[in-house]
Every structure is written in C-alpha cells, then in structure tokens.
Amino acid sequence: MAKLKLAIYWSASCGGCDVAILDIKEKILQVAEIADIVFWPIALDFKRHHVEAMEDKSIDVCLFNGAVRTSEQEEMAELLRAKTKTMVAFGSCAHLGGIPGLSNFSNRAQAFERAYVEAQSCDNPDKVFPQTITNVAEGELELPEWWDTVKALNQVVDVEYYIPGCPPTVPIISQVVDALAAGQLPPVGTVFGSDKALCEECPRTKGEKKIDKIYRPHEIIPDPEKCLLEQGIICMGPATRGGCDAQCIKANMPCRGCFGPTPGVTDQGAKMVSAVASILGLENEKDLPAERVEELMDQIKDPAGTFYRFALPTAMINRKRM
Amino acid sequence: MKRIVIDPFTRLEGHGRIDIFLDDDGNVANAYLRVPEFRGFEKFCEGRPVEELPRITPRICGVCPSAHHMASAKAVDAVFHVDPPSAAKKVRELYYSAHMCHSHIAHFYALAAPDFVLGPTADPAERNLLGLIAKVGLETGTEVIKHRAYAQDIQAVIGGKATHSVCGLPGGVSKAVTEDERRDFEEKSKSMVEFGKLSLKIFDDVVLKNKEYVDLVVSDMYTMKSYYMGLVDASNKVNFYEGDVRVVDSDGKEFAKFKPANYLDYVAEHVEPWTYLKFPFLKSIGWKGLVEGKDSGVYRVAPLARLNAADGMATPLAQAEYERMYQTLGGRPVHHTLAMHWARLIETQYAAERMVELCQDPEITDPNVRTIPTATPDEGVGIIEAPRGTLIHHYQTDEHGMTKKVNLIVATGNNNAAMCMSIKKVAQALIQKGKEATEGMLNMIEMAYRAYDPCIACATHSLPGQLPLEVVIYDAKGKEVKRLSQYLS
C-alpha cells in the first residue's frame, strides 16, 4: 500500500492537541510507517505556499485542530479542504468550538475593552488597541483580525470525521491510526469514541437519580464510589459521548462534556437540561408550585456556560445576540 | 529601508514573529517581536462560577496547562478565603514540580541543547533533538524521553490527565495520593534526581568546558541589565508554588517584595498597537519604552530571573550548583541571557529533589485534602512560577462566587519587553552593513529569544526538532532579495 499523505494543522487552539499526538509515544513510529507528513506547521518546514502548490485532493487525511475565529484561519481551512480527501476535526475546538467558543457570549469589542483597557493592571489612558495595521517609523506592521464569533470546523468546511476530547485521548488517537493503517475507515460523519453516553462507562454506582439540592464541586466532599449527579453535583455524563475512560470522574471531578453530545443529539445543552429537569423531579412540573420550580432551577449556576462548556458554537443558539 | 522577517513557525501567520528593519546603511534600525494571537479569556471567564476557572483557564496553553491550573486553584482559594489542608498543598506542589521537570527537560533537550552540543551555526538538518541524540548517544536520548514521560505520568495520576488536569479546586485537591501511587512517584522522583545530575553534567561538558561557548554566554550581545522577579519562600529561596514575589535591581539589591494580593501596587501593563501581547513594567518606575537599566521599568522573569531574585535554592544539590553558577559567572545577579539554560537545569534539579522530599513526607498520603469553603467569596489573586516565569491570575466575584472580573498576566508577557530588546541587541551586533546575513547568524538571533523559552513557541516543546525559522530580507522598495530557512529542503 502506498504511504498516506497526512497533514496536521492548528488554528485557534492551545497546542494541547499537538501534544496529544506526541503522547501516543511509540505509536508515532507506526504513523511514520503508514504516512508521510506533508504539512505540520509546528514541526516541519512546509509552508502555506507548499500546500497551495499541491494538487487538489492530493492529501489523504488532514487532522485539523482548533476553532476558527479569524479570516486567515478560515482561508487555511478552505485551502486544506480543497487539497484533502478526508478532513478530520481533531479535538473539542475543531469538533464543537471548544472552550474558546465561550467567546460567543460576548464580542470582539467587549473582549478587547476588557483585556486592553479595563484590566486592573492596564495603564492605557489613551485606549490603544492592537490594530490590524500599524505604521511605525520603520514601516508597516500587520496583525490578523479577530472575529466576533468562534466557529467549529464544520461550520466553515465539510468534515468527514470527528475526534472528540480536550485533548483527545491516547486510545482514541491510536484507534484512528489503526483504522488508517488498515484502510478501514468508518462511515463518513462518524465521531470516534463510544456510541453511548459517558454514564455507561462510568465506574461509579448508580441508583435512582432524584435530588432536590445541587452542590457546586467545592461545596461537598463526594463519595468516590457513587454517581456524582446523585450526590447533587452537576456532571455532564448523561449528555456526553463516552470513550474518554471517565478520566475526570476517576479524579473525583464531574464531567464538563468535552466529548460533545451523545450520538443522534445535536444540542448537548438541551439534552442536559432535560436530564437535570428529570433528576430534580421537574418532569411533572405542572404539579409543582412555580416558586418551587424556580427555587430548584436557580440552584444551577451558569447553566449556559456549564451545559455548553465545549459546544456553544455548535448549539442551536450559538451566540449571544449583541 | 530593508526589512527582515523572522517567523519562528513555518507559517507566516504563526504564533510569534520577529520583524527586523534595516536602515539605508544596512544596519539594524529596530526589531519588533510580535504576538499575532489573542485568546480573549479575560472576557469569556466572566459569568462563570469561579470554581470552574481552574478547569477553563488551562486552555490558554496546552503545553503549560498545569501552570494555569495551579495559579487558578490558588486564586480561587483566595476568592473563597479558604486555606487548603497541608496535605493538599503538598500534593499540588508535587504535581507542579513534576510539571516543571516535564517542561524544563523538553525545552533544554529539544530546543536549547542542540545549539550548544551541535554548535550554534551547525547544519540545521542536524541541529535538532535527533542530531543531539546522535551526538550524545542513544542511551542519553532514551533517558530524556523516559523522564519527560515520568513527569507526565505523575501529573496524570494526580490531575486526572496530564494535559488539562482537573484536580485543583477551592480548598484543596479532588483526590488524595494512595500509598501505591506514592511509592511509584518516589521511585520516579529519585530517578529524576539522577537525571538532573546527568543534565548538569552534559551542560558542564558541552558548554562550560568549551571556551568558545562560555565566551558566547558572557558576550555583550547576549547581556542585558534589568530588574528580576520571582517567587521566594520565607528564607528567600526559590519557590515555584508559593511565597512572596521578590524583585531585585540590576545590582541584585532587593527592590520590592510583596504578597500576591498586592501585585497591582507593583506591576502595570503597557499596550502597543502592533502586538496582541501587553508589556508589563514596574509601576513605581514607569514605562520608559524598550530600554534597559535601572531607570527603566522593564523586568525579567523565568529561570535566571528567579535565581537572581532569590538568595539560593532550598535543596542541597541545586544549591551547590546555584553557588557554582554565580562563582563561575561573576556573582549575583547574572545578566547573561544565555545563562537562562544553566538556571533552567538547576531548577530541574531542585524540582526533582523537592519531589523526593514531598514523596517521603508522611503527610503526602493523608486523605484529608479538602477544606470546604465557608466564607463569602469576593476577590483573590493566585501567583505561581510557571516554567517561563511569574504567572498571575486575579479574579473578582459576586457574593455567590460568580466571576465578575478576570485579570491575567502570563509568564511570557512579563518577558515581552526584554525579549524585544534582547533580539534587537543581537541583531544589531550581527547584522551590519556589508555583511551578508547567514543562516548561522539568524540562528544566533533566534537563540536570544529561545533562551526565554517563550510560550508563543512552547507548543514545539516536545517535538523532535526545533523552531523552524524563516528570514526574509527585503530591499528598500520592499522587494524580496533573499530568503533563508533553517530547514533547507
């Protein structure tokens, strides 16, 4: 079999996805056996103009990490899409928008005002902001422009596969490498990971999920053997795709949903709202006095920022209207 | 006017870029280090429950997420006025010391050492980790990879995962260390101490026994006088996790010492329109522009600055090496930017020794690792020493602990002005009228900022290579006349 041509790219990301690829350790040698890496900006000296010079669809697989929030990132996504047969959204940001997607609760002007003027340590009485073009004594200096709205990769270009996680786990990356090596890719649209909700693989014991008090993680010391939701801690397990091996839960902390919605669900937050309503006994809402419903729901702090922690850009309502 | 662009990443749109402008005579007129990236965390953390921030802010950087995780955990402790149990603090420090080892090992071997082991002007095709391993031997290479992995393992066990850990929350850590884990950590930490010695020996053999390199380290172009900042413990020894922030002047005299909560009395930030990264400076002196010396508010952070700002190291092997460094380089403070690498290895030695101490502390397996906060949350500052320097997280909340304001001063930010100046200095010394810019020369410019281990470049840390560098020279009309690249493909 001819070697695959592989591209790896990062856009609005933290670098953790690239580290995750390295954390597969000896498996990286298998990658080298089955693939030639033709583009990987942080590791190899192939540049944008090299990609532009490639034939359309000449790259077999592109692992694209990071969300899209600048015109330059959008151009790179479009360029790589044109050159690539199989586009893979790698990690929560490319898959769902990720943590940077929380930016969609505000806009560029507010973010700049906060960081460059209002920040307590800022000494900026003239309200100087970074500019796309600055003329200095010696010449012109350019910066890329920052958008109001963060997008997931499939909101910019077509995507064939999704690798979830912040960052993706070693077993899942290995599974993808094996699938590529065997030339046996699953149906287009597949999200790697489990087909079931995280609760299915969570090692904690589960009973009847009925609570009337919600606790924030620092407010109680949870029983390490028992379901966190049943102890009143909001855990995104019921609304989140499994496959992460419940790493956070095993560390005694609740899931925040980085693997995205369960199969067949597009809106992770909406799914979580119904799960929470059910455990709070609100499905028979009409039987409860209005004050009681309000009192129960008020206990959930920042539902939008919690239920859509990693998936705001891909939710039904994907930004705050400004 | 000519313009030289140094792009530390292969793409011009990368996460960091250097523009060097030449005057009409072909000498360096000015240099700009620019960060074309803004992440917006200060704004979108608003409205989140503050206890969530230790699990949100690490996404600022996926290569040093543990530094943000710890600074954030300390800030939320302060917001809730809660003091974690002693065991929780020790578990955090153990976790964090492992992170320091991971980061420093990766930087030294993947980025810094190739310049010295193979030579600053060696063939770029060899001047990388693989070339380094070829030179120092596969056995050493294996040790490097093994010990970086050890450090990652310890973080993963305590933090749930090595990248974007979840263990830190107001009042402690989410999970205690078991006896089995402790034994494993102790074994790995002891091995790390030996590895620390090996690293210092390599530095000694390769750099210190080579007059050419020592001359380079102490040369004028790599020397800059500034203030230095770092966290110190009660005896003014270097501490990564906890303590007061100490600032010394360019004579090594204490200029300021303050509690994290008072940082705003000492530090302010300047904004320039040509970069997304702000310029912190010492408030009492003021922003005087990109100039060195005592009259300028520019200060430096990161390993050498930490050692300069402290009176010593808290563990014996690191202390002995600390003394040796200052004896060799003419006393404290040392202003030689390239000595940052030596300081980084001394810190690795300290982190490893500290890990052993913590693993042997009977309290480390104490199951009591949480204090439930009871006070009304309001405001708090968390400061830790990130691998790349002092890191400040400052949060304000309402009475329910919902985040109202977030201020962040990141490690690399503190060094922003100093990096700009160091680059300009080397560029001015090397690029001169009538001299052709060579690849080796450009690498020597890059060495000036690589010493700071800037986080804009930190994603390359674990890679088997080094920062690709491209330099484009334009003539007075903006026409490209020469292009040089480290990877000559």
C-beta atoms of A122 and B268 within 8 A:
yes
Optimal mutation site among B163, B173, B460, B484, interface A, most CBs of chain A within 10 A:
B163
In this prediction the ipTM stands at 0.95
Contacts A218 to B, Cβ<8 Å: 51, 76, 80, 169-171, 372-373
The amino acid occupying position A167 is: P
Optimal mutation site among B6, B166, B279, B443, interface A, most CBs of chain A within 10 A:
B166
Contacts B461 to A, Cβ<8 Å: 19
Coil vs helix vs strand at B267: strand
CA pair distance B280, A246, nearest whole angstrom: 40
CB-CB: which of A114, A116, A252 is closest to B271?
Answer: A116
Please count the other Cβ atoms lying within 10 Å of the Cβ belonging to residue B179.
9
Say if CB B408 and CB B40 are below 8 A apart.
no
Predicted confidence at residue B460, as pLDDT, reads: 36
Could you tell me which of A317, A23, A5, A25 has the C-alpha nearest to residue A165?
A23
B210 to chain A, minimum CA–CA distance in Å? 30
Please count the other Cβ atoms lying within 10 Å of the Cβ belonging to residue A145.
14
Residue B106 maps to which CATH number? 1.10.645.10
C-beta atoms of B63 and A16 within 8 A:
yes
- pLDDT tens, position by position, B394-427: 999 999 999 999 999 988 889 989 988 998 899 8
Say if CB A144 and CB A134 are below 8 A apart.
no
Contacts B60 to A, Cβ<8 Å: 14
Say if CB B255 and CB B249 are below 8 A apart.
yes
Shared-domain flag, residues B17 and B143 = no
According to DSSP, the β-strands at B480-485 and B470-474 are antiparallel
CB-CB: which of A25, A47, A250 is closest to B10?
Answer: A47
C-beta atoms of B152 and A23 within 8 A:
yes
Number of folded domains in chain B?
Answer: 2
Residue B111 pLDDT exceeds 50: yes
Residue B295, in any domain of the structure: no
CA pair distance B100, B362, nearest whole angstrom: 23
- pLDDT tens, position by position, B71-84: 999 999 999 999 99
Q: Region B29-54: what's the mean pLDDT?
A: 88
CA pair distance A34, A171, nearest whole angstrom: 18
C-beta atoms of A138 and B370 within 8 A:
no
CA pair distance B249, B294, nearest whole angstrom: 7
Residue B398, in any domain of the structure: no
CA terminus-to-terminus distance, chain B: 29
Predicted confidence at residue A298, as pLDDT, reads: 85
| pLDDT classification of B465: cutoffs 50, 70, 90 | very low
Contacts A131 to B, Cβ<8 Å: 273-274
Could you tell me which of A19, A24, A26, A37 has the C-alpha nearest to residue B142?
A26
Q: How many interface pairs between A and B have CB atoms less than 8 angstroms apart?
A: 244
Could you tell me which of B96, B93, B128 has the C-alpha nearest to residue B111?
B128
CB-CB: which of A100, A139, A217 is closest to B169?
Answer: A217
Predicted confidence at residue B459, as pLDDT, reads: 34
Residue B145, in any domain of the structure: yes
Q: List C-alpha distances in Å: A21 to A136, B457, B468.
A: 40, 17, 19
* Chain B residue at shortest CA distance from A254: B166
C-beta atoms of B59 and A22 within 8 A:
no
Contacts B56 to A, Cβ<8 Å: 99, 102, 309
Residue B170, in any domain of the structure: yes
C-beta atoms of A129 and B271 within 8 A:
yes
Whether the ω angle into residue A289 lies within 30 degrees of 0, i.e. cis, is: no
Residue B30 pLDDT exceeds 90: no
Any bridge partners for residue B4, and if so which?
B20, B473
| pLDDT classification of B130: cutoffs 50, 70, 90 | low
Domain range for B140: 83-223+336-372
Mean of the per-residue pLDDT values of chain A: 90
Shared-domain flag, residues B99 and B157 = yes
Residue B117 pLDDT exceeds 80: no
Predicted confidence at residue A315, as pLDDT, reads: 93
Shared-domain flag, residues B9 and B148 = no
CB-CB: which of A45, A116, A216 is closest to B485?
Answer: A45
**Token pair in block for residue B88:** 């929780």
Query: Which of these ranges, B49-63, B338-352, B425-439, has the smallest mean pLDDT?
Result: B425-439
Q: Rounded to two decimals, what is the model's pTM?
A: 0.93
Coil vs helix vs strand at B404: strand
**Token pair in block for residue B108:** 């030294």
Shared-domain flag, residues B358 and B451 = no
- Sign of torsion over alpha carbons B135, B139, B145, B147: negative
Residue B63, in any domain of the structure: no
Say if CB B392 and CB B386 are below 8 A apart.
no
Q: Bigger pLDDT: B452 or B178?
A: B178
- CATH 3.40.50.700 spans which residues of chain A? 4-99+149-182
Residue B116 pLDDT exceeds 90: no
Residue B324 pLDDT exceeds 90: yes
CA pair distance B421, B352, nearest whole angstrom: 33
CA pair distance B285, A237, nearest whole angstrom: 52
- The residue among B372, B394, B429 that closes a domain is B372
Residue B310, in any domain of the structure: no
In DSSP notation, B13-59 reads TSS-EEEEEE-TTSSEEEEEEE------HHHHTTTSBGGGGGGTGGG
Residue A127 pLDDT exceeds 60: yes
Shared-domain flag, residues B33 and B88 = no
* Chain B residue at shortest CA distance from A46: B10
Shared-domain flag, residues B215 and B355 = yes
The dihedral region occupied by A217, where left means phi > 0, alpha psi between -120 and 50, and beta the remainder, is: alpha
CB-CB: which of A47, A48, A103 is closest to B44?
Answer: A103
Say if CB B6 and CB B470 are below 8 A apart.
yes
Residues 6+ apart with CB under 8 A from B347: B100, B104, B238, B240, B303, B306, B307, B318
C-beta atoms of B269 and A123 within 8 A:
yes
CA pair distance B277, B421, nearest whole angstrom: 15
Residue B349, in any domain of the structure: yes
Any idea which fold A4-99+149-182 has? Rossmann fold (3.40.50)
- pLDDT tens, position by position, B166-220: 999 999 999 999 999 999 999 999 999 999 999 999 999 989 999 989 999 999 9
* Chain B residue at shortest CA distance from A130: B273
Residue A263 pLDDT exceeds 70: yes
C-beta atoms of A253 and B55 within 8 A:
yes
Residue B181, in any domain of the structure: yes
